Chains A and B, each alone.
With several copies, the nearest count.
Chain A
Amino acid sequence: MRVTVLYFAWLRERIGHAQDQVETDAATVTELVDQLRARDDRHALAFADLTAIRVAIDQDLADLDAPITGAREIAFFPPMTGG
């Protein structure tokens, strides 16, 4: 399946761009992360410490082991600091 992967804040900066279009067979977020890490060094560096990363599947917060089947938009970002 094809998903849009979005990056925010320092993830976006480390990767160097705000989104990737990804063709994937990943069943979970974690599997997708493994695939993204393999793209290049920047992705590998950005995803080095998963405890510092949060994920949203189709704009809802999710766990890293959540299934992504059918998802269209998956976003990665650091813990939120609004308010």
Chain B
Amino acid sequence: MPDIRVQPDPFDYGQVCAAFAQAHCDNGAIVSFCGIVRGENGLQAMEIEHYPGMTERALHRIAEQAMTRWTLGGALILHRHGPLTPGEPIMMVATAARHRADAFAAADFMMDYLKSRAPFWKKERRASGERWVAARDLDEQALSRW
């Protein structure tokens, strides 16, 4: 059963990693990913909009696909929405498996699908104004790897 969390509140990446590793310490391999707001080009703030209901559904589906495809002991996806500032963690995924190849592939897969298949939209605010982040063709193409 994947652990899916969609929340406006900040999270403590280290604390979630530690708790996940502890809960799955009978697995030999833990992989985690954390996405952080980059403060480049004068970014002042970011706002993440999402689609309540569909978001949780999409993340559950992505994690469950990963658990079907690889032999995992556990999977976690946590994603924030609302306002964020540069340097803050936006989201994380974590996987636990007996073998590291499964843990790496599943985390990488979940990130690729989350980027293009989970209903989140980022808006950036700079001194020059606000703009919605455009989806990158590269992110859509990444799905063909799987």
Contact = CB atoms under 8 A, between A and B. Distances in A.
Contacts of A10: 132
Interface in A22-57: 56
A77 B140 CA distance: 16
A81 B133 contact: yes
Nearest to B61: A60
A67 B79 CA distance: 31
B66 interface: no
Interface of B: 35, 48-51, 53-54, 57-58, 79, 90-91, 100, 111, 114-123, 132-135, 140
Given A80-B118, A80-B121, A59 B132 contact: no
Given A8-B121, A10-B132, A75-B54, A82 B48 contact: yes
Interface string A53-83: 0001001110000000000000101111111
Contacts of B54: 56, 59-60, 75
B35 A80 contact: no
Interface of A: 6, 8-10, 12, 56, 59-61, 75, 77-83
A83 B91 contact: yes
Contacts of B51: 6, 8, 56, 59, 75, 77
Contacts of B119: 8, 56, 75, 77, 80, 82
16 contacts: A8-B119, A9-B123, A12-B49, A59-B57, A77-B51, A79-B135, A80-B115, A80-B121, A81-B120, A81-B132, A81-B135, A82-B48, A82-B50, A82-B91, A83-B35, A83-B115
A79 B132 CA distance: 11
Contacts of A78: 121, 132, 135
Contact of B114 (A6, A8, A83): A83
A6 B51 CA distance: 9
Given A56-B51, A75-B51, A75-B54, A81 B140 contact: no
Contacts of A82: 48, 50, 79, 91, 114-115, 118-122
A76 to B, nearest CB: 11
Taking each of B35, B54, B58, B134, which has the highest tally of chain A beta carbons within 10 Å of its own beta carbon? B54
